[in-house]
Amino acid sequence: MSSFPTQAAGVPVLVLREGSNRSRGREAQHGNITAAKVVAQSVRSALGPKGMDKMLVDNFGDTTITSDGRTILDEMDIQHPAAKMLVEVAKTQDNEAGDGTTSAVIIAGELLSKAEELIEKNVHPTVIIEGYRKAAAKALKTLDKIALPVDLKSSDFLKKAATTSMGSKIVAEYKDYLADLAVKAMLAVSEKEGRVRKADVDDVKVEKKTGGSLLDTSLIYGIVLDKEIVQSGMPKRVEKAKIALIDASIEIEKTELDAKINIEKPEMIEAFLDEEEKILREMTDKILASGANVVVCQKGIDDMAQHFLSRKKVIVIRRAKKSDMEKLAKASGGKIVSSIDDLSASDLGYADLVEERKIGDDKMTFIEGCKNPKSVTLLIRGATQRMTAEAERSIHDALCVVRDLIQEPKIVAGGSAPEMEMAGALRKYAEIIPGREQLAVRIFADALESIATTLAENAGLDPVDILAELRTRHEKGETWAGVEVLSGKVQDMSKVNIFEPLSVKKQIIKSANEAASMILKIDDVISSGKMNAPPTPPGGMGGGGMGGMGGMGGMGGYPGGEF
């Protein structure tokens, strides 16, 4: 199996390099499915508000504590190619919808594990894939049917959805406060484009500074720069700021060539320095002529120029990041100029206040009170760096959820209610699907129900009882019956304000189905000799701090040892 020899006229022909490995058919499928299942298993216990958190330790000993599906998988040093595809699911889900990563990975894992049972009963993978395709299409239709439209005139549902997404995070205790900030931030930067609204999470700048508590986290209608004002002689505060955004150095250009100046008389030095001063003065005069009282420069600025500006009570910030310059332009309504000669009053941005403040141990510059800013800043505070990091990840999810709803204002209730509805619809649908594809549609329904059982398990409830009750109540037409894990009861999730964007749920189905189908299609795994190197560096996967991830041991050496 390992060499790939072909017998041609008695002479063995080696196609692959020596040391290459190959596994095919059932064996390859089994290896891939097992690996993917292990990955899904590792995030399972993190699902929902009662999910557990993970502590991840990297090769340098840095730890991350999170309950975020994508982060867990990102931090794990996964090597197996099929397992990596599940990591991709989390990435796709995160990029497309921003929330629902854990759910997508769990469902993908279930789709594979259930498919394996069918394969063992001799159902061909292509039949399963086709059945899954039909099931996914039907599931998406069901979601569309049950989704409720949201009126964006009120931010009520935006807030509820943002709060739901925060509810399953470590920072859940502060979910109301943080969700409110996320909604306000996203609404501020959203814009009407024709008949739809567009919003981009990149327009919300997230800065974090350790210190204080999460309740000190604030929304600034402008930009906070992690920079101090260049000279202590400059004012620390300017009201009604007119801001010049300059992408050019305010220095004398150094010549490219090694020029040599022979100075013969002391007067020559003076003349030389005078000339330098004159050039710098001209530059600063041009800036002052525009009416600017704040200068944010992407490049360097000469001490002498700083001095001239300081005398005129102008605040200067240098070496601002390009991305910050762009955000500042959006926030203040200013224009970035790349030559001081081009700077005019109309290029200046506006802010009610520019002020340097001490935050924690550092000085930061606040540019706030911008008029109708199209970029804003969330400044996250928290007792420890780990806390602010997890808050940033959680706020990211909330911002994405709000963005999703702004762009597609449709909502579903959570707590596995939509998954149960889809499962019910699929079982009915299966009855009209002929042949073995019907079996695939049925197991797709089972896989969707794993969200309910996982939520229940993680909350210490009996998954069998909960599932039975959910099925009965959905059959009776209770669309939003779900398992509310805080009370531990099956109830109408729309009454307890657990809401999620339709687009998140749809993306979960798409991402999970795509990944599962892709893995099922593989029946031949050929790996070059290079892959035979020890798969994990010391301290990698095996000792990666993911204690309790039973079954992970099989990953290190690749299931079946086929690679």
Ligand X SMILES: Nc1ncnc2c1ncn2[C@@H]1O[C@H](COP(=O)(O)OP(=O)(O)O)[C@@H](O)[C@H]1O
**Should residue 51 be labelled a site residue for ligand X when binding is judged by CB under 6 A?**
yes
**Should residue 99 be labelled a site residue for Mg ion when binding is judged by CB under 5 A?**
yes
Indicate if 74 belongs to the active site. Answer: no
User: Please, which residue, 31 or 167, has the CB nearer to Mg ion?
Assistant: 167
User: How many residues bind to ligand X according to rule CB under 6 A?
Assistant: 25
- The answer to whether 484 touches 490, Cβ cutoff 8 Å, is yes
**Should residue 125 be labelled a site residue for ligand X when binding is judged by CB under 6 A?**
no
Cα–Cα distance for residue pair 116/451, rounded to 1 Å: 19
Within 139-168, the residues that bind Mg ion by CB under 5 A are 165
**Should residue 99 be labelled a site residue for ligand X when binding is judged by CB under 6 A?**
yes
Cα–Cα distance for residue pair 385/209, rounded to 1 Å: 8
**Should residue 42 be labelled a site residue for ligand X when binding is judged by CB under 6 A?**
no
Kindly state the greatest CA–CA separation across the chain: 101
Q: Reduce the DSSP state of residue 534 to 3 states and report it.
A: coil
**Should residue 457 be labelled a site residue for ligand X when binding is judged by CB under 6 A?**
no
Indicate if 397 belongs to the active site. Answer: yes
Per the rule left: phi > 0, alpha: psi between -120 and 50, beta: everything else, 425 is alpha
Three-state secondary structure readout of 218-268: EEECCEEECCCCCCCCCCCEEEEEEEEEECCCECCCCCCCCCCCCCCCHHH
Pair of tokens at residue 62 = 């840095």
Per the rule left: phi > 0, alpha: psi between -120 and 50, beta: everything else, 206 is beta
According to CB under 6 A, which one of 89, 186, 466, 498 is a site residue for ligand X?
Answer: 498
Q: Which stretch binds Mg ion (CB under 5 A): 93-101, 416-424, 455-463, 481-489?
A: 93-101
**Should residue 283 be labelled a site residue for ligand X when binding is judged by CB under 6 A?**
no
Q: Which stretch binds ligand X (CB under 6 A): 13-21, 94-102, 199-207, 511-519?
A: 94-102
Handedness of CA 57, 61, 65, 71 (dihedral sign): negative
User: Please, which residue, 73 or 340, has the CB nearer to ligand X?
Assistant: 73
Three-state secondary structure readout of 318-370: CCCCHHHHHHHHHHHCCCEECCHHHCCHHHCEEEEEEEEEEECCEEEEEEECC
**Should residue 559 be labelled a site residue for ligand X when binding is judged by CB under 6 A?**
no
Q: Which stretch binds ligand X (CB under 6 A): 10-18, 100-108, 208-216, 352-360?
A: 100-108
Report what 455 binds from ligand X, Mg ion, none; CB cut-off 5-8 Å by kind: ligand X
- The answer to whether 99 touches 400, Cβ cutoff 8 Å, is yes
**Should residue 101 be labelled a site residue for ligand X when binding is judged by CB under 6 A?**
yes
**Should residue 130 be labelled a site residue for Mg ion when binding is judged by CB under 5 A?**
no
What is the length of the chain?
563
Q: Which of 34, 64, 66, 68 is catalytic?
A: 68
**Should residue 483 be labelled a site residue for ligand X when binding is judged by CB under 6 A?**
yes
**Should residue 404 be labelled a site residue for Mg ion when binding is judged by CB under 5 A?**
no
**Should residue 419 be labelled a site residue for Mg ion when binding is judged by CB under 5 A?**
no
Which sequence positions are flagged as catalytic?
A: 68, 101-102, 397
Residues that bind Mg ion (CB under 5 A): 99, 165
Residues that bind ligand X (CB under 6 A): 46-49, 51, 69, 99-103, 164, 167-168, 414-416, 451, 455, 483-486, 498, 500
